Amino acid sequence: MTDPTPLAPWRRALVTGGAGFLGSHLCERLLDSGAEVDCADNLLSGSRENIAHLEGRAGFRFVECDISSPECPHLLTGPYDLVLHFACCASPVDYLRLPLETLDAGSLGTRNVLAVAERDQARFLLASTSEVYGDPLVHPQREDYWGNVNPVGPRSVYDESKRFSEALVTAHVRTRGADAGIVRLFNTYGPRMRAHDGRAVPTFVCQALAGEPLTVAGDGSQTRSLCYVDDTVEGVLLVASSRSVRPVNIGGSDEVTVGDIARRVVELTGSSSRIEFVERPTDDPQRRRPDTRLARELLGWTPRVPWEEGIKQTIAYFATARPTRQPAPQL
């Protein structure tokens, strides 16, 4: 990889959901860039293990709080010049287990964190998702596509919480002049994912390492566009630095089937595992690939890590601490 693109000289940043998979990588990158970082997390789906290597570093502070609660903003003392709102249950296992908490994070939580950013006149960036497009009827998905979402399906607690978050951020921009943007993330993967979160990559890798069948949903023909975590972090921080108020897609450029991901994981691990087909989740998108022209033209961003190289690095991570049980993927 080439060196990361220089970013804005943030002095102090708040990362909500900072003990999660992606949030912890953002905290680390911001610290490495010279910023002080407050990491806020209620540890419902995040883990102190993800930030253990950061807690002894100067300028890093962990704040355990639920951003949906009225007390949390008072604990986030700042002052901040960057607020990254990444607190939400992003994996199907979590948001199906915690539907009301997921909706609260997108509604009350987003409003609370926007208030913190407004208090400090900070740049605010919402982590949204490809799930706002639902099971898309347009391919690839552009930022101006409104989506095809089932508002009462089992996935709706996540899809609609993010769609509401986007509407709330947009209203703050239009009516209060907030310096706020939205980044829509597609299928990020890599080290620090939880083995049991139900998404395809960690599930397949851990099953292959354990010699268990790889549980592929449906017939495996549905597609995903994987983006390695380092590339996603780079894209997120470039959107933050750009001051763009428009939603920006950040995701992989290689569209692959879930079945192909599973078969390649078996090959790369040298596993003897077989492929086992299981029931496909309700409202599981058939095709998913971002149109990233806006990110390329606005930010000069393109993903650098080929998906197979990222899979190798993810395998190396999970091989050091092999879990035991994995649910079927819900990605």
- Token code pair at residue 51: 């930030």
Distances (CA, A) of 85 to 149, 198, 208, 218, 259: 23, 23, 34, 33, 33
d(CA 122, CA 132): 25
Please list the active-site residues: 158
Distances (CA, A) of 158 to 18, 225, 293, 322: 19, 19, 26, 29
Where do we find the tokens 């879990």?
323
Q: Hey, which bits of the chain come out as E strands?
A: 12-16, 36-41, 60-64, 82-85, 123-129, 180-185, 188-189, 214-217, 223-225, 227-228, 247-250, 255-257, 275-278
d(CA 326, CA 322): 11
Do 299 and 195 touch, CB atoms closer than 8 A? no
Q: How far is CA 293 from the centre of its chain?
A: 20
